[in-house]
């Protein structure tokens, strides 16, 4: 009997070590890991650059309070702002904390300019912004909020793509629109460029803020550092997490100078957020992702992978409904429940994970090799063959 609470339905599999795209299980088998801790291990398992960075820093200083200047954090924030829309950063430890911070920044901004009633955040129904009390209500998912009342006020929802409804629910009390640039848990639904452009326009017109949750799709996962870059727009606030730590828990909220002015001393904080150990790993991740040609290669390998998956789809038009995604955030949407399919892939030593709408979610490390993509394609083909459709 496990002493852990039962809040996860866990697969009966565990691992003794990992290396790049592979995991070595305690059952003696070697698995191609195309989950990577759900888009967290952006550089694969036991990446030598990250191992070196964490070893180096672990012998110096792990943690000091944010009451002091933390040079490693200054450095990572500088890198993040230099490469993005943002002018400043607050570090956290997880995605939910990052989205919470994003909500706080938006509200505090309007408070600071004398409009405290502008505090409602508009989100997409059944999106995913994390598991804290505020984040589950932001997500607007009945499944996540049930049993966790009272309902948290200050969130309004529209259905994915329903801009008519969106325009209708913007009121004088609206502070921001917050959406995932690519909906991850929701089924790998990419918000199209025209739609992001329209969201930016609406926000400008209504003088409200655009928050793009890139916790899952950010940090190179989409093939650009941020997925919104494809649409050539600039958000006001972006929460990040997953990929930035390469496996070490790091979250952050990135923001423009305009809104960051509201975040004066005492308005927000985190004991652990931005400690030297975490920041050193974050810096090492950034250095790899911004190596010349790294993101170009992500896009190249993604094009190949998606093209080949579409070829498989053509062969099994009654099994596979759609190939979704961008970069290395990819979904195979089936017509029917995907759990058996995922189990079959696992039996053939390929690890994938579900997302909503019958989607098999595939998240290779960003430095995946073409030969590993080919291995995955062969396993997927083999599993498809079992289905007589
Ligand atoms: C995973 C995720 C979160 C929550 O991150 P945690 O680290 O689990 O708190 C928030 N937003 C999006 C888009 C995510 O994918």
Which of 216, 238, 254, 278 to mutate to test ligand 1, by most ligand atoms within 8 A of the CB atom?
216
Residue owning the nearest CA to atom 15 of ligand 1: 216
Mean pLDDT value across residues 190-194: 97
Q: Where are the domains of the chain?
A: 15-47+293-385, 49-289
Question: Which residue from 153, 145, 157, 158 is spatially nearest to 107, judged by alpha carbons?
Answer: 153
| pLDDT attached to residue 389 | 67
Mean pLDDT value across residues 273-298: 98
96: pLDDT strictly greater than 90 = yes
Rounded Cα–Cα distance for residues 96 and 25 (Å): 30
Question: In whole numbers, what is the pLDDT of the chain averaged over residues?
Answer: 97
Q: Of 159-163, 238-242, 331-335, 370-374, which range is least confident? A: 159-163
| pLDDT attached to residue 185 | 97
**Domain at 49-289: CATH architecture:** 3-Layer(aba) Sandwich (3.40)
Q: Model-level pTM?
A: 0.98
Mean pLDDT value across residues 62-78: 98
- Sign of the C-alpha dihedral computed for residues 41, 46, 52 and 58 taken in this order: positive
Phi, psi (rounded to 5 degrees) for 50:
-75, -35
pLDDT tens-digit map of 231-257 = 999 999 999 999 999 999 999 999 999
Do domains 15-47+293-385 and 49-289 share one topology? The answer is no
| pLDDT attached to residue 1 | 86
Mean pLDDT value across residues 189-210: 97
184 CA distance to ligand 1 centroid (A)? 9
181: pLDDT strictly greater than 90 = yes
Tally Cβ neighbours within 10 Å of residue 9: 5
Mean pLDDT value across residues 73-93: 98
27: CB partners within 8 A, 6+ apart: 13
6: pLDDT strictly greater than 70 = yes
| Contact indicator for 185, 356 with CB cutoff of 8 Å | yes
| pLDDT attached to residue 115 | 98
Which of 123, 240, 241 to mutate to test ligand 1, by most ligand atoms within 8 A of the CB atom?
241
Phi, psi (rounded to 5 degrees) for 162:
-90, 75
Mean pLDDT value across residues 207-220: 98
Q: How far is CA 83 from CA 73, 79, 88, 278, 323, in A?
A: 16, 6, 12, 20, 30
387: pLDDT strictly greater than 90 = no
User: Which CATH fold would you assign to the domain 15-47+293-385?
Assistant: 3.90.1150
- Residue with tokens 């899952």, as numbered in its chain: 216
77 CA distance to ligand 1 centroid (A)? 20
Closest-lying ligand 1 atom to the alpha carbon of residue 130: 4
388: pLDDT strictly greater than 80 = no
């Amino acid at each position: 009997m496990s002493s852990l609470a039962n809040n996860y339905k866990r697969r009966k599999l565990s691992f003794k070590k990992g290396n790049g795209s592979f995991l070595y299980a305690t059952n003696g088998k070697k698995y191609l890991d195309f989950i990577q801790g759900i888009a967290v291990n952006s550089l694969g398992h036991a990446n030598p650059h990250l191992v070196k960075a964490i070893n180096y820093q672990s012998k110096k200083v792990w943690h000091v309070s944010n009451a002091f200047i933390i040079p490693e954090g200054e450095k990572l924030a500088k890198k993040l702002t230099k490469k993005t829309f943002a002018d400043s950063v607050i570090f956290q430890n997880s995605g939910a904390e990052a989205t919470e911070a994003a909500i706080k920044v938006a509200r505090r901004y309007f408070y600071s300019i004398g409009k405290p009633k502008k505090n409602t955040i508009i989100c997409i129904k059944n999106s995913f912004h994390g598991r804290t009390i505020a984040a589950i209500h932001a997500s607007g998912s009945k499944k996540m909020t049930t049993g966790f009342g009272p309902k948290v006020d200050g969130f309004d929802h529209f259905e994915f793509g329903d801009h008519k409804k969106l325009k209708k629910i913007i009121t004088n009390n609206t502070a921001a629109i917050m959406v995932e640039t690519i909906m991850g848990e929701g089924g790998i639904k990419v918000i199209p460029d025209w739609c992001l452009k329209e969201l930016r326009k609406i926000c400008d017109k209504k003088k409200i803020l655009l928050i793009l949750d890139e916790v899952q799709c950010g940090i190179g996962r989409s093939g650009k550092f941020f997925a919104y870059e494809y649409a050539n727009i600039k958000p006001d606030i972006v929460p990040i997490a997953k990929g930035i730590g390469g496996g070490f828990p790091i979250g952050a909220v990135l923001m423009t100078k305009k809104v960051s002015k509201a975040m004066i001393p005492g308005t927000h904080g985190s004991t652990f957020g931005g400690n030297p150990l975490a920041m050193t790993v974050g810096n090492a991740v950034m250095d790899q992702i911004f190596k010349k040609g790294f993101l170009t290669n992500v896009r190249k390998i993604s094009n190949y992978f998606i093209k080949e998956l579409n070829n498989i789809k053509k062969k099994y038009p009654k099994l596979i409904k759609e190939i979704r995604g961008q970069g290395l955030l990819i979904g195979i949407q089936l017509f029917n429940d995907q759990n058996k399919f995922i189990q079959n892939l696992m039996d053939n030593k390929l690890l994938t994970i579900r997302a909503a709408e019958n989607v098999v979610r595939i998240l290779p490390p960003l430095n995946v090799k073409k030969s590993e993509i080919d291995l995955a394609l062969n396993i997927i083909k083999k599993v498809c063959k079992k289905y007589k459709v």
